[in-house]
Copies of this chain bind each other. A is one copy, B any other.
Amino acid sequence: VRERILTLAREHAYRANGVARSLRTKRSYVVGTVIPDIANPFFATVFRGIEDALACHDYSVILANTDDDPEREARSTTMLRGRQVDGLILATARRIDPFIAGLVDAGFPHVLVNRHTDPIPANAVVPDDYHGAMTAVEHLLALGHRRIAHLAGLADISTGHARRAGYLDALARHNITPDPALVLECGYRESGGYAAMRQVLALEDAPTAVFAVNDLAAAGALRAIAEAGMRVPHDVSLVGFNDLSTSLQLTPQLTTMHLPLHAMGAAAADRLLEQLQWRTSPREPLVMPVTLVERDSTGPVATELLGPPGGRRHAV
């Protein structure tokens, strides 16, 4: 009888009904992922890491895009939980995020990736934004730049907040008083970087270097600089963040901070899997290293700009 059944199973391509199994075992082997926008290569690469790690353990992943809209985030997640996903991976955290606080209160398994709530929770897998930003600005300082602008991310998102803090502290370590006019919140997109850079270039005492919160903003800055008839790095040095060089081929090639995007996604998935399998919670957050990639958008400060007759000097 057994053999006959097994043969029949093969013949009819029998597949166990996963829905029935889920109902009985209370495990769906599906994880939900909430992401601002999968069409953004940054998140696409993180997501690829998530999917790869999950697929290794026979988990599937449902993806929801939110376009950074908190309402869509809430709606997606409610739907996902209704579908009985075993856990959630969120790339949408705000520093103060009532919605994620709700997940914590409910004890629902989840991991934060890239962005984290404040203070950083043990279930977060994020880049070392603070030290990365410091490294970027130290690089500019080492090239002789003293007047350095920052095209900043959003203050209510951990990446924007930490990168700005790293920028300010790097300046402080070199006894440079930050100029508020040189910090412009520009968001994370090309258009924001473009608009902010135009403002920077309109300053009477323009900076010799710019640290952008990410490569997309840097791309916008590059466009504004080119439009103004200036050259990178001759007239302005520019550092980005994220190293989207594989998808974003700019001229000149961008000096930027490299993040292990795929590994970050995979680590987030592994953390969730661990929670689901052992019902343990991670002890402490995972902060991934960020490394400087020197390419062609940064150079030594031009000597004629070092001491302009009427220019204020900010270095000691």
Residues of A near any B CB (own CB < 8 A): 13, 15-20, 22-23, 28-30, 37-39, 41, 44-45, 47-48, 51-52, 55, 58, 60-65, 76, 78-84, 106, 219, 247-251, 262
Contact = CB atoms under 8 A, between A and B. Distances in A.
A38 B19 CA distance: 26
A30 B80 CA distance: 11
A30 B62 contact: yes
Contacts of A251: 249, 251
Nearest to A102: B13
Given A38-B38, A41-B44, A44-B39, A15 B61 contact: no
How many subunits of this chain does the assembly comprise? Answer: 2
30 contacts: A13-B106, A15-B78, A15-B82, A18-B82, A18-B83, A19-B19, A19-B22, A19-B28, A19-B83, A19-B84, A20-B23, A23-B23, A30-B62, A38-B38, A38-B48, A38-B51, A39-B41, A41-B41, A44-B44, A51-B64, A51-B65, A55-B64, A55-B65, A55-B76, A60-B64, A61-B62, A61-B63, A62-B62, A219-B249, A249-B251
A306 B63 CA distance: 54
Contacts of A106: 13
A20 to B, nearest CB: 5
A23, A39, A58, A60, most chain B CB atoms within 10 A: A39
B39 A45 contact: yes
- Between A16, A82, A106, the greatest number of chain B beta carbons within 10 A of the residue's beta carbon is seen for A82
Contacts of A20: 23
Given A48-B38, A48-B39, A52-B65, A84 B219 contact: no
Nearest to A52: B65
A76 B60 CA distance: 9
Given A82-B16, A82-B18, A251-B251, A65 B38 contact: no
A51 B63 CA distance: 8
Nearest to A222: B249
Contacts of A44: 38-39, 41, 44
